[in-house]
Amino acid sequence: MTSQLVADPLARQQEWRHHLHRHPETAFTEIATADYLGGILAGLGYDVEHGLGGTGLVASLRRGDGIRSIGLRADMDALPITEAPGRVHGSRNPGAMHACGHDGHLAMALGAAALLAAEGGFEGTVRFVLQPAEEPGRGAQAMIDDGLFERFPMDAIYGLHNLPGLPAGHIHLRAGGIMASEDNFTIVITGRGGHAARPEAVVDPLVIGAEIVIALQSVVARTISPVQPAVLSCTGFHTDGARNAIPTTVRITGDTRSFDPAVQALLEKRIREISAGVAAAHGAQAEVTYTHEFAPTVNDPGCADMAAAAARAVVGPDAVEADCEPIMPSEDFGVFGRHTSACFILIGNGASGEIGGTPLHSSDYDFNDAIMPTGSQVLAEIVRRELP
């Protein structure tokens, strides 16, 4: 296997990606995925360690006498989505699908690993961090809890994610926040239910809940500075009532997105205050549960400069935007940036209406094979510049 890949390091990239797409595994079940990836990386000459964070793995390759180490991270898990029929390399695991492109991210990482093993060009250690359970936002912390950075020290870590809607192979990144945090909330309003024909005898949590939902719409507009990105969305409204019965409880669910920990704290504070205040005004109670699901993804300025220079060397300056607008989706990669210098990069999967332009998390999404060599070359170039 190794000699074939040395002759053409990217020759089997599509084969790798299509195999991974056919055999998706969801969060913390990526056993066959990890075995497949580990076998390829071991065949390339990497030292492979399995079992970090449950099903994650780290593959390391050392060249020369350099003492620095650079990490390249790719995510392994699929989504619990049934894939639309008709694709030759479609999912063979019912109810699971690579609808976010993690199969492509892995194939780009394998391509970079093959390039670096075959061509070298660096002094030090490169580590491929293949992470489970990105989608629920639990895999990065699980690997860290298993001693990732103590057992495999890294001076910096980089990640790459495809972005439908961006022209194929174009690179976007920025210093500072590039992807938002995600916090979830649940508001449970307890009133007094009763017959729909006697509203004067009840404390109606439906009316109270509706008032809370409307009041929460003012939080971003009238509490958060207009120069601070933030989103507050109520996404569910559930009751225990019936057609002719006013309910006793209403449960409102939703999430918030932001980049600044101070904004996160302020969003939580206002949700709690508004919910309790509106409920109390009507003689009811409101209990708020607020959880932090994803950390914001924040790029180290020095790493962002390094990645931008590497990308320009691969695709040219016209295809690189080094100060892109941040986006509000979340990414588990942000947790790594709390432990070492980090940079997350976006690569265009295809403009809207073109190949690769289908939105992420859609049942008919597919990763664009044409961008894989570009992604692999950018990752390899980052390593060579970080470990000259």
CATH number at residue 324: 3.40.630.10
Query: Do 285 and 309 fall within a single domain?
Result: no
Query: Do 278 and 320 fall within a single domain?
Result: no
Query: Do 329 and 356 fall within a single domain?
Result: yes
374 exposure class (CB count in 10 Å sphere: 0-12, 13-18, 19+): buried
Among 251, 271, 294, residue at a domain's last position: 294
Q: What are phi and psi of 367, to 5 degrees?
A: -70, 145
Which stretches of the chain are DSSP H helices? 2-7, 13-22, 31-43, 102-119, 139-145, 148-151, 205-222, 261-281, 301-315, 372-386
Among 294, 328, 359, residue at a domain's last position: 294
Query: Do 242 and 99 fall within a single domain?
Result: no
Mean pLDDT within 155-183 = 98
Q: What is the mean pLDDT of the chain?
A: 96
Query: Do 73 and 166 fall within a single domain?
Result: yes
Q: What is the pLDDT of residues 187-201, one digit of tens each?
A: 999 999 999 999 999
Domain carrying residue 151: 2-178+296-386
Kindly indicate the confidence band of residue 3, based on its pLDDT and cuts at 50, 70 and 90: very low
Is-above-0.85 flag for pTM?
A: yes
Query: Do 34 and 73 fall within a single domain?
Result: yes
Which active-site residues does the annotation give?
Answer: 77, 134
3-state SS class at 97: strand
Kindly indicate the confidence band of residue 4, based on its pLDDT and cuts at 50, 70 and 90: very low
Give the 3-state secondary structure of 116-127.
HHHHCCCCEEEE
Among 249, 278, 294, residue at a domain's last position: 294
Mean pLDDT within 226-254 = 96
Query: Do 54 and 93 fall within a single domain?
Result: yes
- Structurally, the chain folds into a number of domains equal to 2
Query: Do 326 and 348 fall within a single domain?
Result: yes
Query: Do 17 and 131 fall within a single domain?
Result: yes
**What percentage of the chain carries pLDDT values higher than 70?**
98
pLDDT for the residue numbered 132: 98
Query: Do 216 and 117 fall within a single domain?
Result: no
Kindly indicate the confidence band of residue 81, based on its pLDDT and cuts at 50, 70 and 90: very high
pLDDT for the residue numbered 8: 85
CATH classification of the domain holding 207: 3.30.70.360
Query: Do 117 and 206 fall within a single domain?
Result: no
Query: Do 122 and 208 fall within a single domain?
Result: no
CA distance 230 to 214: 17
Asked if pLDDT for residue 6 goes beyond 90, the answer is no
Mean pLDDT within 270-283 = 98
Q: What is the pLDDT of residues 295-310, one digit of tens each?
A: 999 999 999 999 999 9
CA distance 17 to 86: 17
Q: Residue 192 corresponds to which tokens in the numbers above?
A: 């007094």
pLDDT for the residue numbered 164: 98
Kindly indicate the confidence band of residue 7, based on its pLDDT and cuts at 50, 70 and 90: low
Asked if pLDDT for residue 130 goes beyond 60, the answer is yes
Known binding residues for Mn(2+) are 100, 102, 135, 161, 361
- Pair 259, 180: CB distance under 8 Å: yes
